[in-house]
Chains A and B, each alone.
Chain A
Amino acid sequence: MTSIPKPSVRHPGLPRNALGLTTRDYEGGMSTLCAGCGHDSITAAIIQAVWELDLPPHRAAKLSGIGCSSKTTAYFMRQSHGFNAVHGRMPAVASGVHAANRELVCIGVSGDGDSLSIGLGQLCHAIRRNINLLYVLENNGVYGLTKGQFSASADVGSKSKRGEPNVQPPIDPVLLAITLGATFVARGFSGDKKQLVPILKAGLAHRGFALVDVISPCVTFNDHEASTKSYRFTRGHRHELAPVDFIPLTHEIAAATVPGDPVSVTMHDGSVVRFRSVGEDYDPTDRDAAYAHIRRLQAQGEVVTGLLYIDERAPDMHGVNGTIEEPLTRVPYASLCPGNAALQKLQEEYR
């Protein structure tokens, strides 16, 4: 952390988005994380993404659990709604938020401990329900707040700061999400915003659960020589599988796709995710192929990054449940809860 908050003065030439806001307007409180923490870079990437999307800050809800990563929702969009939930229970709260007000843009931030240990069940069911949520999993392989024990995402053979190797196999959130039927699965790296920002924007535009696993080195406990989640290791072993550009609806899309063009996926709001290049045997819209491909590269010791799988046709939680278009928060109480007489009448039908 720093000794002083970031001064409010800004660069006089800072560009403004369609709402007249600068990136500085999307900032939050002063970070108390360690100097050089990957999480702070992810915060900056989120700020860049929501600024580029012209997202009105008061139309967003920030949700998190417990951990270094979960503190970061305080560090961006100070004007937005927020809920800091119990450890591992953020998906439940997010489900509630999304159920009550489907118009809010939900941004969940969690870590490898919060998501893959104590909150693993919650994560699985959030994926299964396909709630409309950008779920950023800040993954550093250690429990930073409790002095650097291995987390459930630590790789076999990766050593702790004191030299102990990890022996338990990791849970890979990306493979887990693909198996569970997630509709948007990506992996980024906190040290590469060029890749991360378009992924976050696509995740926000995606209707449904968007899991973005971000390798985010812990400078204090897991950035040493023998770590597999360090800046140097990630840079050395990163395999960018499917780099994407995100083209929001407001931009004119120049030409229809022609054969030989990269794959493009049109999002439900009309914006387009355009894959700049994909490998010959890789199709980011084919779940089985994507899974097999990622497994193959992982076996070679590569850290696969990029937008790995996308399915834009699946309905989200409201779609599955056939909920009305209007956010429930705007439905008058009398309609939402018609009272005892209506309940008795309903129960009568089942007698």
Chain B
Amino acid sequence: MQPTDVTNPRYYHKVVDCQWGCPAHTNVPEYIRLIAQGRYTESYLLNRASNVFPGILGRTCDRPCEPACRRTRVDGKPVAICRLKRVAADLRDDVSDFLPKVPERKNGKRIALVGAGPASLTVANDLMPLGYECVVFEKLDRPGGLMRTNIPAFRLPASVLDEEVAMIIDMGVDLRLATPVTSMRALLAEDYDAVFVGSGAPKGKELDVPGRWDAKRIHIGIEWLESVHFEHVTSIGERVLIIGVGNTAMDCCRSSRRLGGRDIKVMARRSRKYFKASPWELDDALEEGVEIVENHAPRRFVVENGRLVGMEFERLAWSEKDGKQRSEVIDTVTIPCDDVILAIGQENAFPWIERDIGIAFDDAGMPVVDRVTMQCSRPGVFFGGDAAWGPENIIWAVEHGHQAAISIHNYCQGLPITDRPSYGMNLVSAKVGMHAWRYSNDYSPAPRAAMTHVELTQRFQKLNVEVELGFTAEQTAHEVERCLNCDIQTHFTAPLCIECDACVDVCPVNCLTITTDGPEEDLRTRLSAPALNRTQEIYVSAALPQTQRVMVKDEDVCLHCGLCAERCPTAAWDMREFTVLIPYAGKPASYELRTANPIPSGLSSQLAVRSSQPL
């Protein structure tokens, strides 16, 4: 195998599973260490640099980082990354002095942003400090987009949302509330240098089965949540059926519970394995007494005298044939109800974009948007968030915003938008003394901290009682220690190795092997423990000096405990803190030496690797 090139930021970046899994590449291990040190403000700011809304995301993120977390592969449960983010947001001091500064003198470029949701706000956040003028058009009378209207207040308090949205608006964004854009042609005719569309996927899917139009009290999930938010809806019948099991369905059933629903059933076509809702949201709904009914496909609404009285379902039996799931109808059942909420998905709708202005749409009615540049077929018009490719989540919207901001900046500077700035990396020894590291390297066997919830009796009294109480100081202290510090890399310097086997012997999880070189497929089978997880890389060194064999490391379950480095007599293994340097609009990934102790000048070249390459 070719020796692994660790000077390409991609290799070590991928080892940091959470950061690799995060669409916005939040530096999770570093912010967890900052929390461990009680440096909440710094932790918050580190978060904000990449994900912009730490307080909001610390409560509502879809957490792609957590299933990716190495700890899952080690002891079954990921670190509670998301809720630790909330700890930093809750306990931080005032950060207004540390927010990006906006120049007095503008650069003369004006950007129109459609929709005041996370995608548009991120674009404004990145462009305002560069001197752009940003004009945000919002159809509702408050900013925040779906973060405000679709996430119930018992999950995300309005104060948290208001504060983080204000951090961006207060940079001097020209926010035009209650100003829907009704014509893209008209908008383009105005004097803007670029247009960003972050208008979300605001249309709930219909369920056109018999009876749908014969009665009231059949609601579309996201529209209903919006009405609840604006207090246009303040009650619901006792018996409620929710159709669909995505996260919107969870918000609908839990909101129903607070508006008077007593017998609430979430109706699913398939079995739990296939539910779209995040497992923790399902658990929270179950805790509140919501019933989840599997394998029921809606057939028709039962309407008597113009009044909805129930819904008829087909009970399905699923079987697998040739890798395809097939269903068979067992019988039909009618479930009585007072209200039905349809939460079977969302669609994009762009009735306000004329089809003859150079913006191409595909057969499904979606704009054709470039995956990298976020630009549509008309130069200068960019899409992001749910508006680009349909419903995703907040953290994806943020990343789209960052990328669109880079493109808009290039576009306005007259540079090709395909010129993407490269990623960089810092790699600095974490050694601060004899067997002392600048991170807590011992493995903590503590189980994942469980979030404490408000008592059931209290939480239904008002619609805006936040259910999750956040971690206590003790829970936080334990949870931060569960982090394996995957960004503290095991860095190997082959010419120093004397092949004493010390690292191989001491590794608690059999990651290391010294063996003869071979093709990857073959190497993976002859390691100390077979490297069966193909999603994880194996590291292969250059030939070792004494026997010409190679050092192989399977990254899969490495604890980053540093024992290989502690046992190494020649410092061929070293623990090095890796930071992937992420470029943002107008801010190239710059090399900066960050270390806890001064490095002797002779050693600096050996201890720090500087690199700058595209990922």
Contact = CB atoms under 8 A, between A and B. Distances in A.
Contacts of A35: 502, 566-569
A37 interface: yes
A217 interface: yes
A232 B502 CA distance: 15
Interface of B: 73-75, 435-436, 441-443, 445, 498-502, 504-506, 508-511, 529-530, 532, 546-547, 557, 559, 561, 563, 566-570
Given A6-B506, A6-B563, A232-B546, A219 B443 contact: no
Contact of B505 (A7, A15, A40, A219): A40
Nearest to B74: A9
A191 B499 contact: yes
A40 B507 CA distance: 12
Contact of A2 (B443, B501, B511, B563): B563
A40 B502 contact: yes
A2 B75 contact: no
A169 interface: no
A11 B536 CA distance: 14
Nearest to B554: A11
A10 B509 contact: yes
Given A6-B563, A40-B505, A235-B499, 19 more contacts: A6-B508, A7-B442, A7-B508, A10-B510, A11-B511, A14-B510, A24-B508, A35-B568, A35-B569, A36-B567, A40-B502, A40-B506, A41-B501, A41-B502, A41-B505, A190-B500, A231-B499, A232-B498, A235-B547
A226 B211 CA distance: 94
B546 A3 contact: no
B501 A7 contact: no
Contacts of A24: 508
Contact of B500 (A4, A7, A41): A41
A231 B500 contact: yes
Interface in A190-237: 190-191, 193, 217, 219, 223, 231-232, 235
Contacts of B506: 2, 6, 40
A4 B505 CA distance: 15
A7 B440 CA distance: 13
Nearest to B434: A3
15 contacts: A4-B441, A4-B442, A4-B561, A6-B563, A7-B445, A10-B509, A11-B557, A13-B532, A15-B529, A40-B502, A41-B505, A43-B505, A44-B505, A191-B501, A231-B499
Most buried by A among B435, B443, B501, B557: B501
Nearest to A220: B569
A2 B566 contact: yes
Given A2-B566, A231-B546, A9 B559 contact: yes
A7 B546 contact: no
Contacts of A6: 506, 508, 563
Contacts of B508: 6-10, 24
Q: Which 5 A-B pairs have the closest CB atoms?
A: A36-B569, A7-B443, A3-B435, A44-B505, A2-B566
Contacts of B501: 41, 44, 190-191, 193
A34 B569 contact: yes
A38 interface: yes
Contacts of A190: 500-501
A260 interface: no
A191 B500 contact: yes
Most buried by A among B435, B445, B502, B529: B502
Contacts of B74: 9, 12
Contacts of A2: 435, 506, 563, 566-567
Nearest to B529: A11
Nearest to A235: B546
Contacts of B561: 4, 7
Contact of B509 (A11, A38, A231): A11
Given A2-B566, A8-B445, A217 B500 contact: yes
Most buried by A among B499, B530, B547, B567: B567
B500 A12 contact: no
A22 to B, nearest CB: 10
B273 to A, nearest CB: 22
Contacts of B502: 35-37, 40-41
A12 B70 CA distance: 13
A308 to B, nearest CB: 23
Contacts of B570: 36
B569 A7 contact: no
Most buried by A among B509, B530, B559, B568: B509
Contacts of A232: 498, 546
A43 to B, nearest CB: 7
A2 B435 CA distance: 7
B435 A36 contact: no
Contacts of A10: 508-510
Contacts of A36: 498, 500, 502, 567-570
Contacts of B75: 9
A219 B563 contact: no
B498 A223 contact: yes
A166 B118 CA distance: 76
Most buried by A among B445, B505, B546, B563: B505
A143 B561 CA distance: 32
Given A4-B563, A9-B75, A40-B506, A219 B569 contact: yes
